[in-house]
Amino acid sequence: MKNTQTLYPLTFHPIPKEKIWGGTKLKKLLNKPFSGNHIGESWEISDVGNDCSVVKNGPLAGSTLRDLMQRYPKEIVGEEVYKKFKHHFPLLIKFIDARENLSVQLHPDDEIAKKRHNSYGKTEMWYIMQADDDSRIIIDFNEQISKDVYLKHLKNESLPTILNAEKVKTGDCYIIHPGLIHAIGKGVLLTEIQQTSDVTYRVYDWNRPDINGEKRELHTALALDAIDFSKTSNYKLAYTKKENDSVRMEQNKYFTTNYLYLTQAKEVSYTTVESFIIYICVEGKCEILCKKTKEKVALNTGQTALIPAQCETVFIETNKCVLLEVTI
């Protein structure tokens, strides 16, 4: 017998990740229910390994995202997305608080990740939610370099001298393609949209010990043929802010992200999108109503909702909020 559950806007319990570089902004600025002073990440929507999101609201509360993807995959992600990803939810949504610099790292593409790790690769997007004075990110090299020059700097522990550091502020947005060397700098709070993958190649970690006094593992050999040495400049995303309208920020084969700045209520139809929608509230607050089921969820800054494809049309009620609107 076919399941006939009518789906509704879903929220999930955030999954905390303690990191040596983590801090307290997720708790203090985003009101996450976390204890501890070194929480670096809050996984908001995840179907990665043992870190599978659990529904927080409504009659499906307590169900895992993976369970729902087995029972109602087409209703959640839409027919076209299901054809490509089957029962796997294709995106991972995080908030990240860098009290200290993250390691310098990169991610493999789909081909390498599949061959080595039986995983998807990782294309990711960053939206800066808050940054302390003079906070920076590392992104790409600061000059065209060869593999030999890179290895020489690794050996000499001078890699930071050839990395490009950029000062950031609230609203800045970056696309991190596989192979692009990068690191989130201290003082930065951001939201990250990415493929469902947790494969990272760490190449430099500032010579710091972990909580046990040991240095963390580096992935020098694995990273070598995954690094993009081509020196690109198309990683910072330019977008406009149009009041009460959806503005395209990024579109690639893995996800599309729009910027939605609302100062009044708005009805949004997704009948032609054939995808789920993820709303990430990065400023203000709102209520999102599924017109089909009459179910609603409230979102404050730092909260996320998954709108199943089955919902089709939503009504967003707010006086002021900024939402990142993510689809496939």
Q: Which residues are catalytic?
A: 202
Query: Among candidates 17, 16, 12, which has minimal Cα distance to 65?
Result: 12
Answer yes or no: are the C-beta atoms of 137 and 166 closer than 8 Å.
yes
- One-letter identity of residue 327: T
- Tell how many helices (H) and how many strands (E) occur in the chain: 7, 20
DSSP for 34-89, written as a single string: --SS-EEEEEEE-EETTEE-BB-SSTTTT-BHHHHHHHSHHHHH-HHHHHHHTTS-
Question: Distance between CA atoms of 285 and 29, rounded to whole angstroms?
Answer: 14
Angle in degrees, CA 236, 126, 250, rounded to 5: 60
Cα dist from 169 to 97, 133, 212, 217, 269, whole Å? 14, 9, 34, 31, 32
Question: Distance between CA atoms of 108 and 216, rounded to whole angstroms?
Answer: 19
Answer yes or no: are the C-beta atoms of 44 and 88 closer than 8 Å.
no
Query: Among candidates 303, 322, 312, 257, which has minimal Cα distance to 31?
Result: 303
User: Where is 144: in which H helix or E strand?
Assistant: none
Listed in sequence order, the DSSP H helices in 135-234 are 147-155, 220-224
